[in-house]
Amino acid sequence: MKRYVLYRLLFLLPTLLGALTLVFLLIHLIPGDPVDVMLGETAATADKEALRESLGLNRPLSVQYRTFMFDLAAGDLGRSLYERASVTEIVRARFPATLELALCAMIAAIAISFPLAVVAAVRRGSWIDRSALTFSLFGLSMPNFWLGPLLMIIFSIQLGWTPVSGRGGFGHLVLPAFTLGLGMSAILIRILRASLLRAMNEEYVQTARAKGLSEQRVWLKHTLRNALLSVITIMSLQFGSLLTGSLITETIFSWPGIGRLTVQAIQTRDYPLVQGCVLVIAVSYILVNFLTDLAYRLVDPRITYGE
């Protein structure tokens, strides 16, 4: 187990290095100049050059990349070009909002998908099964940039049940969490239903029934538990996607998280801030998948990680 953990941790560094290098090159090569955004295109050339020199943007790209990597190794993400504040502090202030939204979206997805998938598997071929599959199809077909404004118009503007945007109490979480969680729940319904149907035909399930165990215990203890491995894999990938895919949802609902911050940083060509946001998202995604690998053994003790 320790050997496996060390092996996975060693592979985190090249993965992060590749992600940061790619983002550094892309953000510097796309059209646009942060100096023009900060001063305006009508500013004097001398003023632009003076600001560019003070920010270090007049240096060769290779020098900027080397400086960025050395500062990152020292734990310094730099200072925002636009806000003139520490990138670490800005990201630290925004990350809890994104984590809160992602966790609530995950809870909403689980609350929707697990009951529907279990009932659909138990009543296979019935109208309940067909309804659950139809619901999952609609969930997969509705993109966030369409579902979010639709929910906002209905429940916030017309009915007045929830706030329109921003972060505050529980009411502010309902619509963005449901917007993010619906697509994930649609995937989980299909994956969990298929896993349950496959597990219910295994010999250990037939043996449990032959021992006289109740049908409820057979489903919960034997069938559902052994169907969770594939579901956990999808959930980990989807949770990482919630952190990265929240860009659109956070922008729609003006949610002050990492996703919205990334969009704003890209619009202002704030290179250090974009790199800091991507670093946090990449680390979060990698850690979620790493913890998921460790959780496999809790679900299935037969997994040994090469021991």
Distance CA 18, CA 205 (A): 45
90, burial (CB in 10 Å: exposed 0-12, middle 13-18, buried 19+): buried
Roughly what angle, to the nearest 10 degrees, separates helices 87-122 and 271-299? 40
Q: Where are the domains of the chain?
A: 87-299
Residue that is written with structure tokens 């090159």 in the block: 25
Q: Which residues contact 110 (CB under 8 A, 6 or more apart)?
A: 185, 188, 235
DSSP 303: -
Instruction: For residues 281 and 290, give the distance between their C-alpha atoms in angstroms, rounded to a whole number.
Output: 14
Domain 87-299 fold? MetI-like fold (1.10.3720)
pTM of the full structure: 0.77
User: How far, in Å, CA of 13 to CA of 127, rounded?
Assistant: 50
* pLDDT of the residue at 1: 62
- More confidently predicted of 178 and 15: 178
Residues in a beta bridge with 86: 79
Contact 181, 109 (CB under 8 A): yes
The pLDDT of residue 168 is 78
pLDDT per residue as tens digits for the range 50-60: 777 777 777 78
Looking at residue 255, what is its pLDDT? Answer: 84
pLDDT digits (tens, 9 = 90+) for 77-117: 878 877 778 888 888 888 888 888 888 888 888 888 888 88
